[in-house]
Structure 1
Amino acid sequence: MNNLTVPLILGYAGFFFAWFFLLVEAYGLIALKNIYSRFLLSALADTVAILLLFTGIILVDRNLASSGKMLVLLAFLLVVNPITSHLIARSARRNGIGLQDKKKED
């Protein structure tokens, strides 16, 4: 293996695991009944998937300018994504949305 294939393998592994986290998130959003558990799952899975996806892009594309832009965007998203998820959950709590759904169980 030369020095070019290791970053490519790690980059494509990042792509694969990002899609894996997104698929687990999609299943969890269907399976979980509690709205706040759904908020938590979506915030965590999206953040991890974005981290893995951007890391994979940085490793595969070796352009320094685009890697720098990706790092800035990644830092922004790592700060903003949990904050927005918290604000949405806080708004739901303030508007009286309880832990359990009011509809009948399937």
Structure 2
Amino acid sequence: MKDIKCPLCGTQLKQFNDIHDTYHVRVGCQKCKWTTFLTDPEKADQAAEAVISKFPPIMRLNSGDKLLLEGAKDYFTVVSVELGKAVIHTDKGYCYIDDVVKWPWELEQKGRDE
């Protein structure tokens, strides 16, 4: 399983087997007690990513994530997030949602220079 974290608490997601269905699995957060619907083990990561993609981008950030901000040539590293104020604190200061050009999941997919 990929390194996918809970958008609510940042805990690593895990696969859970169902008592009544030994083939299909659920993916979810043990701490927050949410899971996906039962799915094939090969599709478990996709099911978790589909659920997480419904959360606003700022809720999906974790400490240590990299961001590319408007007008910046280097990455900014997330230190913390103030959800109530929609402020992202980075290793180089702070920014707002509108300042973000590429989120961590976009950097992983497309690469920095695209």
Q: Give the TM-score category using the shorter length.
A: under 0.3
Normalised to the residue count of structure 2, the TM-score between the two structures is: 0.25
RCO comparison, higher one (Cα < 8 Å, 6+): 1
**TM-score, normalised on structure 1?**
0.27
Q: Which has the larger radius of gyration?
A: 1
User: Which structure features the higher share of strand residues?
Assistant: 2
